[in-house]
């Protein structure tokens, strides 16, 4: 087998379609972990009471990645969805091929995702480079849509920087250092603010007058106050 994507291999026990703990990585018998921003190859095998299921009559299968909170999968729109038709199914899969990962292919069906597909998922709220999502498989048959399996999948940032040497790019600036310092002086310093001791507000209608504020601890006091004085500039 030519390795072109991260292989994620799932045994879907269709007799437990609503068991939130049913989806496990078939390679490791553990919770599924997919790499963020990387290409995936999600391989599935359908089972009926631990026996390979017959896919005859299934028109299509849809895989959806959904938002979730505390293990409860959101019922709204999918964050990422892909549907494959029966023409791509491997109807001749044997138990030996599935168990030993042998044969081409060694699964019932496969969903492939580009690295850009997975990179489009939001990792906002990640903890230790990881975030959990809902994973839902449904199918369409003669009577309409029906559930195959669902569960929780973890997506993790693997720490890689992608193609290339990994050397950080050299920053380019629109302005030179001198130009930036001059702009800071004109806005923040304005020629009247000594560094680190106070801040002077110049009157908007008279540049010769202003208010100078500073933090100071009055004699005999423990806490600082803001002191404001009028100044002539």
* Domains present along the chain, CATH in parentheses: 6-156 (2.60.40), 190-232 (no CATH)
- Return phi, psi of residue 20, to 5°: -65, -15
Tokens at 114, concatenated: 């580009």
Peptide bond into 121 cis (omega under 30): no
Query: Would you call 149 helix, strand, or coil by DSSP?
Result: strand
Output the pLDDT for position 162.
66
Beta bridge partners of 15: none
Q: Tokens in use for 59?
A: 């028109």
Label residues 63-84 b or e (16+ Cβ within 10 Å = b): bbbbbbeeeebeeeeeeeeeeb
pLDDT of residue 220: 83
What local confidence, expressed as pLDDT, does residue 115 receive? Answer: 93
pLDDT tens for the chain, 233 residues long, are 568 899 999 999 999 999 887 888 888 888 899 999 999 999 999 999 999 999 999 999 999 999 999 999 999 999 999 999 999 999 999 999 999 999 889 999 999 999 999 999 999 999 999 999 999 999 999 999 999 999 999 999 998 876 544 455 566 667 777 777 776 666 555 566 666 667 777 787 887 888 888 788 888 888 888 888 887 87
At residue 168, the pLDDT reads 56
Tokens 């004109």 — which residue? 186
Beta strand segments in the chain, E: 6-13, 33-35, 40-48, 51-52, 60-66, 68-69, 72-73, 80-85, 109-113, 130-141, 144-156, 199-203, 206-216, 225-232
Length of the chain, in residues? 233
* Largest separation between any pair of C-alpha atoms in the chain: 91
Whether residue 203 contacts residue 209, with contact meaning beta carbons closer than 8 Å, is answered with yes
Rounded to 5 degrees, what are φ and ψ at 48?
Answer: -125, 105
């Amino acid at each position: 087998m030519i390795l072109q994507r991260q292989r994620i291999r799932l045994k879907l026990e269709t007799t437990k379609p609503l068991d939130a703990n049913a989806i496990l990585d078939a390679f490791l018998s553990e919770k599924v972990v997919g790499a963020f921003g990387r290409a995936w190859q999600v391989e599935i095998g359908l089972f009926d009471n631990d026996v390979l299921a017959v896919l005859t009559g299934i028109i299509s299968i849809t895989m959806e990645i959904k938002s979730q909170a505390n293990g409860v999968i959101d019922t709204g729109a999918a964050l990422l969805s892909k549907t494959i038709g029966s023409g791509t199914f491997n109807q001749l899969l044997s138990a030996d091929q599935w168990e030993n990962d042998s044969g081409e292919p060694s699964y019932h069906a496969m969903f492939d995702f580009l690295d850009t597909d997975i990179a489009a998922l939001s990792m906002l709220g990640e903890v230790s480079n990881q975030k959990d999502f809902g994973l839902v498989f449904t199918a369409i048959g003669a009577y309409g849509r029906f559930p195959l399996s669902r569960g929780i999948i973890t997506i993790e940032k693997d720490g890689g920087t992608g193609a290339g040497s990994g050397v950080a790019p050299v920053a380019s600036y629109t302005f030179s250092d001198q130009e930036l310092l001059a702009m800071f002086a004109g806005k923040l310093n304005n020629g009247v603010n000594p560094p680190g001791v106070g801040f002077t507000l110049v009157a908007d209608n008279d540049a010769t007058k202003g208010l100078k504020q500073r933090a100071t601890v009055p004699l005999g006091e423990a806490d600082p106050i803001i002191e404001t004085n009028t100044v002539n500039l």
